[in-house]
Amino acid sequence: MKKIVFNVSTFLIMALCSSPSFALVGDGGTIAACYPGGYSQILLGVKPFVFQCAQYTVIKPCPYGGKLVEFWLPTYAIEVTGQANTTVFPVSLADVLSLASPIEGGMVQGEAGNDTQTKYRDVHVYQLSTADVTAILAGHPGQVCMLLYADSITGGTVFKSELFPGWRIGKDPTGLNPFSSPVGSWGPLYPRTGWSNHPSNVTNSLLLSYRSQQLGAEFSALYGGTVFVDKYEIGGPVPGDCYQIGTPTMLQEKAANRSLCADRIVTIFWRHIITCCPV
């Protein structure tokens, strides 16, 4: 009897170990491979798109002097990664270290396939420092005016999906209708957790970036973003264009994806501002 139990147990162990596992798989790529230049690579990479993203426009004179201007201001860098407990942002690993097992995670189906081909994603929202914003805007003719309103000065991680258990089990704390509040062509806003289903890694990353901002805005002073008003720019691993929230990203899909790095995408959030500028 003992021999039979032993043989059955051995067979089950071997079968489980040799069976392919599809759930909770994250292949985010290493930081060294995807971002060999580290965080500086992101700041430098977005610069060629500054004029396009900022869209700095003088509208008319202000009643009490200065000019009424409209522009978009870089505010957050948002990392969507399939490699748990890692970050490209200039903070210590302990700042984003998950207390949960690294093989757990919010699930996202970032590629065409069946329902078992899922991967986890963690999201880190990094508030750009004044130095970061200055580096991005350097050389722009509206730089002085824009920097007067660059109120993001922390230079630290202000949202970590690891702190929200609901992110890893696909449960939004509000319990709102998952089919309400569509984010344009990207997908639904709710539940604002790691669940998404879209054949594009780029679109999934943009949607999870937006969801994480909306979730973080409920628990902090983090700015949530507005559909079709604010923008996201692809910050890496291959920098790319700016998109107003919810607009199609088909042209970016091929350029933004890099082999073994499609699950580690950084976006830059550009906030829409209309204000009187004294200079």
pLDDT tens digits for 79-127?
998 877 788 998 777 777 655 544 444 566 555 444 555 677 889 999 9
Give a yes or no: residue 15 inside a domain: no
Give a yes or no: residue 114 inside a domain: yes
Give a yes or no: residue 261 inside a domain: yes
Pair of tokens at residue 15: 């079968």
Number of domains the chain contains:
1
Q: Which of 70, 129, 111, 105 is nearest to 204 (CA)?
A: 111
First CA to last CA across the chain, in angstroms? 88
pLDDT digits (tens, 9 = 90+) for 122-165: 899 999 998 999 999 999 999 999 988 777 667 888 888 888 87
Determine the structural domain holding residue 76 and report its residue range. 23-277
Pair of tokens at residue 43: 């700041």
Give a yes or no: residue 10 inside a domain: no
Query: In the predicted model, is pLDDT for residue 179 greater than 60?
Result: yes
Q: How high is the pLDDT of residue 196? A: 78
Give a yes or no: residue 9 inside a domain: no
Q: Which of 34-48, 195-209, 240-254 has the lowest mean pLDDT?
A: 240-254
pLDDT digits (tens, 9 = 90+) for 13-38: 333 233 232 333 445 567 888 899 99
Question: Whole-model pTM?
Answer: 0.83
